[in-house]
Structure 1
Amino acid sequence: MHRRRLDTAGRVGWDGAVTTDTPTDVFEEHRPVLLGVAYRMLGRVADAEDVVQDAWLRWAGADRSEVREPRGYLVRITTRLAVDRLRRIKARGETYVGPWLPEPCPTDFGDTVPDTAERAVLADSVSLAVLVVLESLSPLERAVFVLREAFGYPYADIAALLDRGEPAVRQLAGRARRHVEERRPRYRVDPARRRELTERFLAAAAGGDLGALMELLAPDVRLVGDSGGKARGPLRVLQGADRVARFLTGVAAKGVPDLSVRFLELNGGPAVLALSGGRPDAVFQLDVADGRVRTVYVIRNPDKLRSLAAAP
């Protein structure tokens, strides 16, 4: 990853000129990175925004004359706040109704990440499949994995950020990487091909075309639905092409009032946002391989769809 060092006296621009920045300017420059770290740690947009707001309050009240590298300082604060929040969530032992999926997050990197390889890494690190796996890691394992795999931090820097020895950080990283690699999908698909299959899937599902769906679905396809008990949806993972296809055609047969759909990029890949009366009703996203749909993700929990109300 490309990093620019900042000091408290000013910022080095692309032309080499030094400009004076306010604390707000410095924080806002790094806000996207901080939100990226917090979201990957927590899997929830609202929680990530709360953590970044807390980081801003700490930054605003800090003695910045002692801060040589604001980015590192802010990432350290954000990571520690996210770790603390994860620990509190786990300590409460809250039960979730049905399967859990991360809150969908728009990830159109635009021109901010021009490098294809870097875009692929960022997209993969925020995918629904990977974030589901990260949910099963300990807070420290998750922090190390995110900082190392998604943002390319050296082990020595991660050790300093977390106040841990480098050998311990390497051990955490190895354990987290093995855990993720064992459970993450082992296939990569061209985004254009994934978009094409998503469009065909939507047409078949919306049209209640059982035969077309069966042609698209892998025999062992899984449908993971997250309703949180607050909307209609399966409370268990559905598996098998026939079962998943019949569920989808059954939903289509019931209909959705004043239905409209939008294609957009969520969590690093193409997704479908279904709206009822102009309000977000569901998000569909697919994992595909060898021309077939391997996993269907359906998010209907209204708490996780609010941030998409203004999606373009």
Structure 2
Amino acid sequence: MENSPPEVKPPVSESSEPGQSAMLKTARSTKILERPSETFRRKLHVGDGVIETRARCGTLFGKSVIHTPAPLNPLICKSLVSFWQTGRGAESLKIWNRYPGSGQEAAMSFKSYRVAWVMVALSLIIVSSFALLASSGDPTTFKVSAAGDAYVSTANPTAAYGKGTDVWVSKVGSVENWGYLSFDIASKLPAGVAVVRARIRLLVDQSYGAFPAQTVAGRLLADFNEATVTYNTAPAATFDASTNTVFDKRPMLGFTVFVDVTKQLQAWRSSGQRTLFGLVLTMGPATANAGIAFASRENSLLDGPVLQIFTVPPGQYGYSISPRETFGVRSAN
């Protein structure tokens, strides 16, 4: 399979405008879209020639057509840069983004491919606006307070610290305190929606030590009971570098901290094994002497841990490019 369409010279239609290629009349496109986690297929018909491409987000299969399955991935796909560098044969660009039931559509067209390519950068902003449209309020954004929180200590591995007003995360030499959080969201997260972002909001109650310091969050592989969990009985966890949070200086009372747990929540959701989404917070390996106490759900002066989840409806997303085609962003059935 070649990377570019075969050269085709279809007959010029009498109804074509002066100077307009008849390829506008003969080019058509057939999309075969499967579930977002699967490979896309796209067929581009130009005259008698047919090109079929298969792609996952971030991979360029030729400069004629590309599709990306995830709602926000078009913002980071390197393929856009590749189009900018290699797409000289295109006279316009078309970008579409569909959300069932929204009925919203925006489109622009250009006579010159040069103008269209200049607008590629602006298209990122447009796509992001549609992709994040529902992230500003109900029902696609919701918050859940912690169902349980506690901390455990290597200094006293059989003690339970689940009823205090703080969740300590600290490291002083070989002594560490780890914070545990759980959220009951299995019945609250609508089926079929795509989670595009998830984060934990924490409020600082106390802190000490040498900063900068870094915390990291791990996804728990089993549930815990805040009243009885200890260092010896705490469940295992799997960690992800995307949850790293850097504190450049010592955080003061009331300081708000957001911990990105998007990948952890998506992995938990895929497992489909437990009702509670659980996390553990520890100091990073580079931290030697620092501690932060986050307000627990038992704290009467500060808000306890809150999980914020941003979702979009199930849909189809992607980029397509072909000669003299309209440039636009779509969100429609």
TM-score when scaled to structure 1? 0.28
Higher relative contact order at CA 8 Å, sep ≥6: structure 1 or structure 2? 2
Identify the structure with the greater helix proportion: 1
TM-score when scaled to structure 2? 0.27
